[in-house]
Structure 1
Amino acid sequence: MSKKYFIYEEFGSDSTAATKAPNDLQEIFKKNKFLELVKIKKEVSKNKKYISILKNILISLSKLKKGDVIIFQFPFATNNKFKKMLLKLCKYKAVKTIFLMNDLESLRYNLSNCGLIDKEKYLSQADVIICHNRRMKEYLIACGIGEDKLIELEIFDYLVDILDVKNRKNDNLEVTIAGNLSPIKSGYIYKLIQTVTGININLYGPYFSPTDKINRNIIYKGSVEPDKLPFEIQGDFGLIWDGDEIITCSGITGNYLRYNNPHKTSLFLVAGMPIIVWEHSAMRDFVENNGVGIVIDDLNSLEEKLLGVSDEEYISMKRNVKIISNKLREGYYTSTAIERALNKL
């Protein structure tokens, strides 16, 4: 009988989604009865790394049999050499491979041209690819990846314990921003907080650089670990925006929203918070199809848009958010995508 495997890696933990997302995926793999093929620890010295690669290849060689399945997190952010060698071994031993995409750097940095960068060329070797959404799927097809091997994730899951969330808006409307707050990554924040007066803005995350021009309704809540944040985060709506401008999502990070599933979307929803997304973002489809937030083209109209949401509309959004939140906490979307991927093999 064939077996299902994944590569367990030590990603550590920090105050961003950089480790929360891959760690959650490993837990969901286990939930779906994937076994640890090898366990990769963080090695400091080169000698230890080479010994580790050799050891893991030998373990993989002894375990893998024809018809087995391995799921990889992609891109190969760590342990590249071992994973590339393992792919060759999979081909040699007729082992099926699934790639679950965390990121696609060619989209992030090369929006003017369709073409995978060198370290993404390994995508073509996968039997099935789980990509973020319809937009990313269309891009991959344009890059020569066969449509028959592509599956849409829809949204990243966010594993946490049960949360108790309120159903009504605060008396003073609150919009929450979470993530990397540095002026380089999220320059729009520093323009927004100088102009917004009728609503409160809650900020969570590292690298915030306050200025003298910040209004009194801007509240910096500090940096909180991803596993704890859903229990501590406050606000009526979560804002998904990126780039330097408030009139549109711009620059490398802003344009990337056209194609990716930001992990902070899952954070807000799992915490029971309706979301605000850019009208050209890939997440617009998910928001509108599930009734879990509002769509906006320009943050200059943010206050007007939010103040126009009635109590009845907000309660309806919260009801829908609760349904999605329950699914995200249990790993529903990843598990569903994995099941579909296995059926394709």
Structure 2
Amino acid sequence: MSCFNIQSINNTVDGQATAVSKPIGDAIKTLAKLGSNDMGSIDSLPNIFSRKLISYKQLRTYFRDVSAGDTIFVQYPLYISYPAFLQVIYYLRFFKRCRLVFIIHDINSLRIDSDAGLRGMGHTNNATLSLKNELRILKLASDILVPTEAMREFIMNTKKVSANIVVFGMYEYLSNSLKMPVFQNQPTMIFAGNLNKAGFLSKLHQSDFHYEIYGKRPATFDLPSSLDYRGSFPSDELVSQFTGGFGLVWDGISANDISGVMGNYLRYNSPFKASMFLASGIPVVVWKQAAIANFIDQHHLGITVDSLSEAELIIKHLTDKQYAEFAGNARTFGLQLRKGARFLSVLEDTVNPGK
């Protein structure tokens, strides 16, 4: 039996550089340690009927080295048309008779946001139809690896998927350097990412707290002048810009609570920015109802709050000793994320169950 992995390399959202490529790239590197054969990006396969379908000849050629009984790791979702996605999965499952293992990065049905240009599976804004489309694919998996227990429960509660669903935890953030910086206590929150999805930033015009902002300037609103905008950097350069404080894991349109589609998505996913901050040795600020909140609390990796005003107050009164404990825990856990050992262990257990 051999292992292979397929994925899309989707580096942009609405023309903006995103962190999508690093979690996918890190998974490819970890799969290689397992002995998986990387089949590269599948994005170019659809080329007929307005690039929505794949010819049988293309499928046969692309997967010519795959044999019955092989394990295929699919980094889900594939950023190709829904009909083409179905073609690939059906071909591997029924024609090649492979074992399919899905590594979940996102469940698109949970984050449909037309304002941010995010559509569901099948390029639809209808959440019910999108979920139906996703389940047609997910139910063909033998194993599904998800980042949080909340996402596992969401899939299980559909009653449509019989696959073995395993929680692998926070996304790894691989790095060749195992030297972790030591940050000092300072009243700062850092936000980095797609700013078009961070409408809450526009509500901070009256705050006197120091916020450092990284990312391409949003097209949908103006950043308040009180925010310390630092510009946009590739993910591998971004972490070197941080000087201390807390990494902010927040989303949606409100600073007083979590609201909006992207805010609600925090109930299910493990934001990659949380891994980025922790792998940088920076503790995090997380919404109390986020899927990763309990983990952050249990391991003392930062603070969980109901609002940003609450976070501001806590950070302002934090002692150097308290911050040093948070930062020390972040460095210890961040080192694990840099090594990717936890995710590799889950992959090994998936390939060789019972060993």
Please give the TM-score of this superposition, normalised by the length of structure 2. 0.84
Separation in structure 2 between the aligned mates of residue 124 and residue 84 of structure 1, nearest angstrom: 12
Partner residue in 1 for 2:3: 4
Quote the residue 2:216 is aligned against.
206
> How far, CA to CA, are the matches of 2:224 and 2:6 in structure 1?
48
**Take 2:94 and 2:80, find their aligned partners in 1: how far apart are those partners?**
21
- The separation in 2 between residues aligned to 1:140 and 1:50, in whole angstroms, is 27
Of residues 49, 68, 71, the one that matches 2:70 is 68
- Residue 123 of structure 1: CA displacement? 0.1
Distance 2:309 2:126 in 1: 26
Secondary structure class of the residue paired with 1:195: coil
| Corresponding residue SS for 1:67 | coil
Aligned to 1:117: 132
CA distance in 2, matches of 1:247, 1:111: 28
Which of 295, 304, 320 is 1:286 aligned to? Answer: 295
Cα RMSD between the aligned structures?
3.1
1:281 and 1:223 mapped to 2: Cα distance? 26
Indicate yes or no: 2:173 matched with 1:158. yes
Letter in 2 for 1:20: K
User: What percent identity do the matched residue pairs reach?
Assistant: 25
d(CA) in 2 for partners of 1:38, 1:341: 21
| Closer/same/farther in 2, CA of residues 138 and 322 from structure 1, 3 Å limit | same
Q: d(CA) in 1 for partners of 2:27 and 2:64?
A: 25
- The number of residues matched between the two structures is 336
Give 1:219 deviation, angstroms: 1.1
**Are 1:174 and 2:174 an aligned pair?**
no
Question: Is the 1:176–1:234 contact (alpha carbons within 8 Å) kept by the matching residues of 2?
Answer: no
Partner of 2:201: 189
Q: What amino acid is the match of 1:36?
A: D
What does residue range 177-256 of structure 1 map to in structure 2 within 5 Å? Answer: 177-182=191-196, 185-192=197-204, 194-197=205-208, 199-208=209-218, 214-215=225-226, 218-256=227-265
- Per-residue deviation, residues 59-91 of structure 1 (Å, max 9, x unmatched): 355322232100001122126555433433333
- Which residue of the other structure, out of 299, 320, 333, is the alignment partner of 2:329? 320
Q: Whole-Å Cα distance in 1 between the matches of residues 299 and 173 of structure 2?
A: 17
Residues 24 and 7 (structure 1), Cα distance of their counterparts in 2 relative to 1, 3 Å cut: same
Whether 2:113 is the aligned partner of 1:101: answer: no
**Residue type of the alignment partner of 1:177:** F
For 1:31 and 1:93, locate their aligned partners in 2 and report how far apart those are by CA, in whole Å.
Answer: 24
Give the CA deviation at 1:134. Answer: 0.7
* Equivalent of residue 144 in structure 1, options 159, 165, 186: 159
Residues 100 and 130 in structure 1, CA contact (< 8 A), matched pair in contact too: yes
Evaluate the alpha carbon distance shift between residue 79 and residue 64 of structure 1 in structure 2; reply closer, same or farther with a 3 A threshold: farther
Instruction: Tell me the residue number matched to 1:18.
Output: 20
The one of the two structures with greater contact order (alpha-carbon pairs below 8 A, sep at least 6) is 1
In the other structure, the counterpart of 1:268 is 277
**Structure 1: distance between partners of 2:129 and 2:353:** 26
Q: TM-score, normalised to structure 1's length?
A: 0.86
- CA–CA distance in structure 2, aligned partners of residues 118 and 211 of structure 1: 36
Name structure 1 gaps, 5 residues minimum. Answer: none
Flag the structure with higher helix content: 1
1:274 deviates by 0.1
